[in-house]
Amino acid sequence: MRSKKWLFSIVGFLIVAVFLFPIYWMVISSLKPMSEIFGESTLFPKNVTFEAYRNIFIGSDLAIFRHFFNSLIISFGTMIGTICLAAPAAYAIARKNLKGITLFLLFILITQMFPSNMLALPLYTMFAKIGLLNSYLGVIIANMTLSLPFVILIMRTHFLTLPKALEEAAIIDGCSRWGAFLRIILPLAKSGILTCAAFSFLLAWGEFLYSLTMLSDNSKWPITLAMRQFVGQFGTNWGELMALSAVSTLPIIIIFIFTQRHIISGIADGSTK
């Protein structure tokens, strides 16, 4: 029995190492001088230098803080819009015995399977007609098409775990249906909402194609699109590209540090139905 546990531990460690190795390689590449990056590959940098980080913050024409701010606007906008639309939709699906709900949920699953490059051109054509190109709002709505179906499914499952007696008691005490939803159901579903909010934020933070398609003004580019400036026709500045990639992962790490407990409990609570 003990040997079996050791075997599972070793296998788990190897799986984690495989997934974390690209991140490790990104970090050490950002700490290597350019000559060492193109020289003999080593697992540890021989000459540690922070020149790439200095260049992206001070020595280059890249307005990194502006691009970070753009990413925050798009990511928070996507997160807020997704939660505001998904929460009442998921609650209605969970509580109402609607006809054809199975087909509707199947439709949501099918839309989740559509890749972003398949939706980019139709969205571009539609947004061009209503004046949403080259705007934060257009990119936010486009990102919501990716996150909204998944979040509705997750939040519906979470609402199913909450007893109906709670909102019925609130209605008897004088709350409206919306009042019971806002005052009783949403606070109890906090872990599930935080899980979906983190997913929406991270999806929008790493999105590239919609921003590339809809933003022609580079002053509105998010950080993922700004990385293209280090990829040229005749070469790639790998040191600064890896440094910017490492810096852009910091918000993701911070989010997981502060919301890890809620994300894990939200996933566990939503898996019981």
Which pLDDT score is estimated for 273? 47
Which pLDDT score is estimated for 140? 95
Which pLDDT score is estimated for 111? 75
Which pLDDT score is estimated for 1? 62
Given pLDDT bands bounded at 50, 70 and 90, which one contains residue 233? low
Give dist(CA 57, CA 63) in Å, integer. 8
Which pLDDT score is estimated for 45? 77
- Of 261 and 112, the structure prediction assigns the larger pLDDT to 112
Taking CA atoms, 88 is separated from 84, 180, 215, 252, 269, in Å, by: 7, 12, 31, 27, 19
Section 71-98 average pLDDT: 90
Contacts with 209 (C-beta within 8 Å, 6 or more apart), sequence order: 116, 117, 120
Question: How many CB atoms are closer than 10 A to CB 44?
Answer: 8
Section 110-122 average pLDDT: 80
Which pLDDT score is estimated for 11? 87
Which pLDDT score is estimated for 61? 61
Section 236-260 average pLDDT: 81
Which pLDDT score is estimated for 39? 67
User: Of 8-22, 128-142, 231-245, which one has max mean pLDDT?
Assistant: 128-142
- Of 157 and 38, the structure prediction assigns the larger pLDDT to 157
Structure tokens that stand for 66 in this block: 């502006």
Given pLDDT bands bounded at 50, 70 and 90, which one contains residue 41? low
Which pLDDT score is estimated for 186? 87
Give dist(CA 241, CA 223) in Å, integer. 11
Contact 123, 142 (CB under 8 A): yes
Section 124-149 average pLDDT: 91
Section 23-35 average pLDDT: 83
Section 103-108 average pLDDT: 80
Which pLDDT score is estimated for 264? 60
- Model confidence over 145-187: pLDDT tens digits? 888 888 988 888 888 888 888 888 888 888 888 888 888 888 8
Helix, strand, or coil (residue 147): helix
Which pLDDT score is estimated for 266? 53
Give dist(CA 72, CA 205) in Å, integer. 8
Section 227-256 average pLDDT: 78
- Model confidence over 185-213: pLDDT tens digits? 888 888 888 888 988 998 899 888 899 88
Section 49-75 average pLDDT: 83
